[in-house]
Amino acid sequence: MSTPLSVLKGMLGPARHNYIVPGLMSSKVNCHMVRVFENTREQEFFITPHNHRFDLFCVVLQGTVVNTLYRLVTGRTSPGKSDAFVRVQYEKGVGANLRKPLTSGLYGRYRNEYKAGNSYAMKANEFHSIHFSADAIVLFVEGENAGDETTEVLLPVGSDGKVCDTAVTLPWMFAQ
């Protein structure tokens, strides 16, 4: 599991040593973008588990965030909460509806709750779903692009073995 400090350190550029005083180092954060998420209403909808094209570092400034990580179960033991998923990839960029199936497997769910003042981080290849409280404000730092230009999502497999497509994308979701 990535720690916020390890992910943030991975985003740092070269350090300037003895900056202003002996022993103090200064490094620029190499990031693609810094944004703020501010939720103005109760979140009613589940966000399909997904990964990102970049490492990320977040600080909860107000409210509560529940970040549920999904990790592929390996070996014979499974965590208490696990479900079958198919990993798929957008073929034409984020928000496209055409998807290419990649792999399937059992994924364990790990729920983490963060309150104002807490930070969390993820590597680009980690899958998660996120829930913001009605008053949540989160500082979100996107690291440099980790390579692949497309996001992957996890689609649940029903008890009948059929894939349930929960990854609905609509034009208003990414409008500016």
Domain ranges of the chain: 4-13+27-157
Residue 47: DSSP 8-state: P
Instruction: Select the more confidently predicted residue: 38 or 23.
Output: 38
CA 142 from chain centre, in angstroms, equals 10
CA pair distance 24, 19, nearest whole angstrom: 5
At residue 94, the pLDDT reads 54
CA pair distance 163, 155, nearest whole angstrom: 7
Q: Work out the end-to-end distance of the chain between its first and last CA atoms, rounded to an integer number of angstroms.
A: 33
- Least Cα distance to 143 among 125, 116, 129 occurs for 125
Q: What is the maximum alpha-carbon separation in the chain? A: 65
| pLDDT, tens only, 73-94 | 887 655 556 778 888 876 665 5
Distances (CA, A) of 60 to 25, 33, 35, 36, 139: 25, 17, 12, 10, 6
Options 3.30.40, 2.60.40, 2.60.120, 1.10.3470; CATH of 4-13+27-157: 2.60.120
- Least Cα distance to 12 among 28, 34, 36, 35 occurs for 28
pLDDT band at 47 (very low <50, low <70, confident <90, very high): confident
pLDDT band at 162 (very low <50, low <70, confident <90, very high): confident
